[in-house]
């Protein structure tokens, strides 16, 4: 009754002539409607990208995660407290004792300056936020911004539909979320934004030929350089791209090159200051660098100067390669022009060839000599290990244990790809296919970006991150193009479907482009066909049952279709088609009713796949990537949540109850956290710049107690912190990392030999362990008084739950050290068989004040334990990087 009463006046209102005319005038035009929908979707995606990253804040608290972010947080605090100039000149004496670290000169300040800028802006607008909140939310905020950039990039590459899909895909892609959840306050958080922005602006510049976009791109690049070491990817990719374009244009179509080169020019000029800087650094005078630069490169190069400033801060060995790389390729570009010009002058092919031979030979010879002399004199420093390991994944394993020991530097497993990309992994080749079908400057770029970054992602787990935007964009093209075709089929009904998709800008260049497309696409097709048959059985089966071959227009199936058609028909005939729609129409005219049904079915298939993607992403984010790794949660016996907070317990104890000038020795993983949370000086930390120093710590840990004591005395160590998981079964504790300490220590000090700690090549801690192992410092500290403890029912005392053995040395006496503090939790009764826990054992040494003649050290012990949830174990099982990260230095 009530409802009808309510409806009537409303209906009256609408039907009355005056109102309806008003309603009509307010009604939006189709274009406006489209704009409204687009803006609404973008806004929703923007919000979605932000809130999906807040799992950790809701589930735990607003806190900084992992290892590196703690350093960044500490630096940001310093920056906001002391201002920019103090920060620039900051010499941090709290790390790398007694060496210290020039922080202002050895980090990428982009992230910290960004966060501080946001903080200051908010403060200026009188929002009384804490700097921690800003730091925690920086990464989600930039992830949201990345979605907007992805939209514009997708629009530039394909059309606005692809842009929207790209924005959605990247907003929730686990590969990106892994490094940008709230609290993950790391360089990558802003760097991916900067990377994508730079690429977008660059592509925009290439497409428009506008200097303004090129300049904007330069600024984007400047920001990227200031934020992350991954910028080397940009400066190597862009020249590569230019070469490809050059080959295309010089080789086939002479005409357009000049226009494109204008965009490049800005980019190349930007590289000049780094070269100058590099040369200056070679001379060894950094102080007068800036004024000289300003004098040398006035005017336009002011921009370049900005871009170079961050480079100046880096250690030059890393920059040098990229710097050398860059101009060499840019000169190559010049050489092309030069050759062209000479060819024009000489007018005779024979003469030209002679000229070419002589110049090339002499240039190669000169280059070789220069390189030889440069390397010998040390002017060109050798490549760093991480670069080698990028080209040869096995390099680090054999030569640099400190790189190999970091889990995120491991080669990527297939499961990681599946975990981080899900359906994008299959959409990626499909998208590549579409890109090749409509080859333009922009799509060439994204294809190159995708392929190179995919290679790097395969080499190192952490570089999945760099590949993520490309994968999302290319997949978005696949999704968008497919759905567009399908919906056109659905809507077409009896009238002929509209030809082509939106922009037909590239059709004029089609013939030459199509050829490359075919070659590569054929390559990918074989692979994707296999993938399709394996993974997306459902839509395929559906189609086969319906029995119409030609209508396979799903993202995967579409390729099979074209492949078959390719085999049948001549290549040139097919090249003209820019959309699958055309193919289908050609071959499927005979069965129009099925065509529509099939399209609907495939639409549902696509919808199903995409919704699976959303579910997967949410699940991964919630279960695997939102754990702070400082605090661990587990389920108790009654399903209640148990929090294990032993890390912070130990750090806070250090902070409150040790002398302010105490020096703490621990393995480098915990260095940043100790300085940030414990506020105490550490010997080594996660900025692994000095291998010898780390090796010294490794040596101390793997020596006998009295030898270790001498080393510790020489390093002024007061406390030793050890993480131990034997009580609760946490597997990534110091005993399990111990072999790396031995290896790294042994790499510098040959006294330490790995075989001494192994029995028949086997690493054991029980009775059968090597005698040196049973008596080294790490073993003694970890298992001190552990022999008295019953950890599990029905097991003998001293049963190590992390390794599942009874320890070999139960009667440990410490001569020079004493237990200072051990964290709680492990004896709580809520530990039951099902849940896995971990514990840590820390040691600390303290100077006794009584006897002044003999400096005695009492070492103390910390028992540190944490729970380790089943969920995280699952994540580990999937070999996902975020939970096992020990973030080393940046690339």
Partner 1 sequence: MLCLLKRFFLLFQIENIGNAPASEVLLAFSPTQFDHLALVKAASVVGKKKKKSYVPLEVNPTERPVAPNGTKYYAISLLKALEKGEVATLEIFYSLTHTLEPFPVEISQSESQLVYYHDSAIILSPYHIQQQATLFKTPSNKVESFTRVEPTDRAGTELKYGPYEGRSPFSYSPVIIHFENNNPFAVVEELEREIEVSHWGSVQVTEHYKLAHAGARHKGVFSRVEYQSRPSASGVSSFKHLVAELPPRVHSVYYRDNIGNISSSRLRTNSKKSELLIEPRYPLFGGWKATFVIGYGVPLQDFLFESATGARYLNYSFGCPLANTVVDKLTIKVVLPEGSKNPSAQVPFTVEQSFETKYSYLDVIGRTVVVLEKRNVVPEHNIPFQVHYNFNPVFMLAEPLMLASVFFLFFITCLAYLHIDVSIRK
Nearer to partner 1, 112 or 633 (CB): 633
Tell whether omega for the bond before 98 is within 30 degrees of 0, i.e. cis. yes
**HSE-up (13 A, CA, CB side) for residue 387:** 15
Minimum CB–partner distance for residue 123 and partner 1 (Å): 9
Q: Scanning residues 659 to 678, which ones bind partner 1 (CB under 8 A)?
A: 677
Instruction: Estimate the crossing angle of helix 30-51 against helix 131-157, to 10 degrees.
Output: 140
Instruction: Provide the β-strand partners of residue 300.
Output: none
Q: What is the torsional sign of CA 887, 888, 889, 891? A: negative
- Tell me the C-alpha to C-alpha distance, in Å, between residue 680 and each of 563, 654, 674, 677, 820: 64, 7, 6, 8, 15
**HSE-up (13 A, CA, CB side) for residue 176:** 37
# of chain residues touching partner 1 (CB under 8 A): 34
Minimum CB–partner distance for residue 339 and partner 1 (Å): 38
Residue 858 engages partner 1 in binding (rule: CB under 8 A): yes
Residue 527 engages partner 1 in binding (rule: CB under 8 A): no
Nearer to partner 1, 96 or 651 (CB): 651
Radius of gyration in angstroms for the set of CA atoms belonging to the chain, rounded to a whole number: 31
Q: Are 441 and 427 in contact (CB under 8 A)?
A: no
Cβ neighbours of residue 546 closer than 8 Å, sequence gap 6 or more: 594, 597, 598, 601
Minimum CB–partner distance for residue 124 and partner 1 (Å): 11
The stretch near partner 1 (CB under 8 A) out of 59-67, 310-318, 436-444, 555-563 is 59-67
The stretch near partner 1 (CB under 8 A) out of 338-346, 529-537, 764-772, 782-790 is 782-790
Residue 792 engages partner 1 in binding (rule: CB under 8 A): no
Residue 789 engages partner 1 in binding (rule: CB under 8 A): yes
Residue 816 engages partner 1 in binding (rule: CB under 8 A): no
Gap between the Cα atoms of 278 and 294, Å rounded: 15
The stretch near partner 1 (CB under 8 A) out of 418-426, 429-437, 560-568, 644-652 is 644-652
Among 343, 399, 596, 648, binds partner 1 (CB under 8 A): 648
Minimum CB–partner distance for residue 704 and partner 1 (Å): 21
Residue 12 engages partner 1 in binding (rule: CB under 8 A): no
The stretch near partner 1 (CB under 8 A) out of 173-181, 261-269, 272-280, 858-866 is 858-866
Joined tokens for residue 876: 């580990």
Residue 860 engages partner 1 in binding (rule: CB under 8 A): yes
- Tell me the C-alpha to C-alpha distance, in Å, between residue 769 and each of 331, 697, 761, 779, 804: 60, 22, 11, 11, 14
- Report the DSSP pairing between strands 632-635 and 663-665: unpaired
The stretch near partner 1 (CB under 8 A) out of 647-655, 703-711, 748-756, 766-774 is 647-655
Residue 118 engages partner 1 in binding (rule: CB under 8 A): no
Minimum CB–partner distance for residue 61 and partner 1 (Å): 4
Nearer to partner 1, 649 or 800 (CB): 649
Q: How far apart are the first and last CA of the chain?
A: 70
For tokens 């000095």, what's the residue? 690
For tokens 């804490």, what's the residue? 130
Residue 822 engages partner 1 in binding (rule: CB under 8 A): yes
Closest CA to 246 of 350, 363, 338, 362: 338
Among 59, 753, 785, 816, binds partner 1 (CB under 8 A): 785
**HSE-up (13 A, CA, CB side) for residue 12:** 6
Nearer to partner 1, 241 or 644 (CB): 644
Residue 653 engages partner 1 in binding (rule: CB under 8 A): yes
Residue 849 engages partner 1 in binding (rule: CB under 8 A): no
Residue 724 engages partner 1 in binding (rule: CB under 8 A): no
Cβ neighbours of residue 152 closer than 8 Å, sequence gap 6 or more: 163, 200
**HSE-up (13 A, CA, CB side) for residue 877:** 7
Joined tokens for residue 487: 């919906």
Q: Residue 303: enclosing H or E segment and its boundaries?
A: helix 301-313
**Residues in contact with partner 1, shown as a per-residue x/- string from 125 to 154 under the rule CB under 8 A:** -xxx--------------------------
Among 7, 12, 34, 61, binds partner 1 (CB under 8 A): 61
Minimum CB–partner distance for residue 678 and partner 1 (Å): 9
User: Binding residues for partner 1, per CB under 8 A?
Assistant: 60-61, 63, 126-128, 630-631, 643, 645, 648-649, 651-653, 655-657, 677, 785, 788-789, 818-824, 827, 858, 860-861, 863
């Amino acid at each position: 009754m009530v409802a009808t009463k309510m409806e009537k006046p409303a209906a009256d209102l609408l039907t009355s002539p005056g109102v309806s005319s008003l309603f009509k005038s307010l009604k939006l035009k189709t274009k406006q409607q489209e704009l409204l929908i687009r803006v609404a979707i973008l806004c929703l995606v923007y919000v979605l990208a932000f809130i999906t990253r807040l799992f950790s804040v809701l589930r735990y608290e607003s806190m900084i995660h992992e290892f590196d972010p703690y350093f960044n947080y500490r630096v940001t605090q310093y920056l906001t407290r002391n201002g920019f100039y103090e920060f620039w000149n900051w010499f941090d004496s709290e790390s790398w004792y007694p060496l210290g670290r020039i922080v202002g000169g050895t980090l990428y300040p982009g992230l910290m300056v960004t966060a501080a800028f946001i903080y200051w802006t908010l403060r200026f607008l009188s929002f009384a936020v804490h700097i921690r909140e800003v730091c925690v939310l920086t990464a989600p905020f930039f992830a949201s911004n990345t979605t907007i950039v992805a939209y514009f990039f997708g629009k530039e590459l394909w059309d606005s539909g692809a842009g929207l899909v790209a924005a959605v895909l990247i907003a929730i892609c686990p590969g990106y979320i892994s490094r940008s959840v709230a609290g993950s306050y790391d360089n990558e958080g802003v760097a991916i934004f900067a990377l994508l922005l730079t690429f977008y602006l660059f592509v925009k510049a290439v497409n428009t030929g506008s200097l303004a976009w090129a300049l904007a791109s330069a600024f984007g690049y400047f920001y990227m350089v200031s934020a992350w070491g991954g910028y080397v990817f940009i400066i190597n990719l862009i020249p590569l791209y230019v070469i490809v374009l050059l080959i295309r244009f010089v080789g086939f179509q002479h005409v357009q090159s000049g226009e494109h080169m204008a965009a490049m020019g800005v980019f190349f000029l930007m590289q000049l200051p780094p070269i100058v800087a590099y040369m200056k650094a070679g001379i060894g005078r950094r102080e007068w660098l800036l004024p000289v630069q300003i004098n040398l490169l006035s005017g336009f190069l002011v921009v370049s100067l900005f871009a170079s400033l961050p480079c100046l801060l880096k250690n030059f060995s890393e920059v040098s390669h990229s710097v050398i790389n860059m101009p060499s390729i840019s000169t190559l570009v010049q050489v092309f022009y030069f050759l062209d010009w000479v060819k024009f002058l000489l007018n005779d092919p024979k003469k030209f060839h002679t000229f070419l031979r002589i110049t090339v030979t002499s240039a190669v010879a000169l280059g070789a000599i220069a390189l030889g002399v440069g390397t010998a004199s040390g002017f060109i420093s050798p490549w760093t290990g991480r670069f080698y390991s990028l080209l040869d994944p096995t390099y680090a394993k054999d030569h640099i244990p400190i790189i190999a020991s970091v889990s995120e530097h491991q080669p990527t497993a297939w499961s990681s790809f599946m975990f981080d990309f899900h359906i994008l992994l299959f959409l990626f080749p499909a998208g590549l296919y579409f890109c090749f079908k409509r080859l333009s400057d922009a799509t060439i770029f994204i294809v190159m970006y995708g392929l190179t970054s995919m290679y790097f992602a395969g080499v190192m787990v952490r570089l999945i991150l760099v590949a993520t935007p490309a994968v999302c964009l290319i997949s978005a093209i696949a999704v968008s193009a497919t759905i567009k075709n399908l919906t056109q089929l659905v809507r077409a009904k009896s009238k002929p479907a509209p030809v082509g998709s939106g922009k037909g800008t590239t059709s004029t260049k089609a013939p030459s482009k199509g050829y490359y497309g075919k070659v590569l696409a054929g390559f990918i097709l074989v692979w994707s066909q296999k993938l399709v048959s394996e993974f997306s059985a459902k839509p395929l089966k559906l189609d086969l049952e319906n029995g119409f071959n030609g209508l396979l227009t799903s993202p995967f199936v579409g390729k099979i279709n074209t492949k078959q058609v390719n085999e049948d028909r001549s290549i040139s005939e097919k090249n003209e088609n820019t959309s699958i729609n055309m193919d289908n129409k050609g071959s499927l005219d005979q069965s129009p009713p099925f065509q529509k049904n099939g399209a609907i079915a495939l639409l549902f298939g696509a919808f199903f796949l995409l919704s699976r993607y959303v579910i997967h992403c949410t699940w991964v984010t919630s279960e695997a990537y939102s754990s702070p790794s400082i605090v661990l949660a587990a389920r108790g016996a009654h399903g209640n949540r148990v929090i294990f907070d032993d890390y912070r317990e130990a750090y806070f104890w250090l902070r409150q109850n040790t002398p302010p000038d105490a020096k703490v020795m621990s393995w480098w993983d915990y260095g940043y956290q100790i300085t940030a949370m414990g506020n105490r000086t550490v010997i080594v930390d996660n900025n692994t710049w000095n291998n010898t120093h780390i090796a010294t710590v490794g040596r101390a840990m793997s020596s006998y107690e009295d030898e270790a004591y001498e080393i510790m005395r020489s390093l002024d160590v007061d406390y030793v912190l050890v993480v131990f998981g034997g009580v609760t079964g946490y597997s990534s504790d110091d005993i399990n990392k111990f072999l790396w300490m031995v290896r790294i220590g042994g790499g510098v000090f040959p006294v330490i030999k790995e075989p001494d700690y192994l029995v028949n090549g086997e690493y054991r801690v029980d009775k059968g362990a090597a005698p040196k192992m049973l008596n080294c410092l790490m073993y003694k500290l970890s298992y001190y008084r552990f022999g008295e403890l019953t950890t599990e029912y029905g097991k003998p005392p001293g049963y190590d739950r992390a390794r599942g053995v009874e320890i070999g040395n139960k009667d440990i006496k410490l001569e020079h050290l004493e237990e200072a503090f051990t964290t709680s939790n492990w004896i709580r009764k809520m530990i039951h068989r099902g849940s896995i826990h971990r514990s840590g054992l820390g040691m600390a040494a303290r100077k006794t004040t009584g006897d002044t003649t003999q400096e005695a050290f009492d070492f103390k012990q910390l028992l540190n334990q944490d729970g380790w949830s089943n969920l995280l174990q699952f994540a580990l099982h999937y070999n996902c990087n975020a939970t096992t990260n020990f973030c080393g230095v940046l690339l």
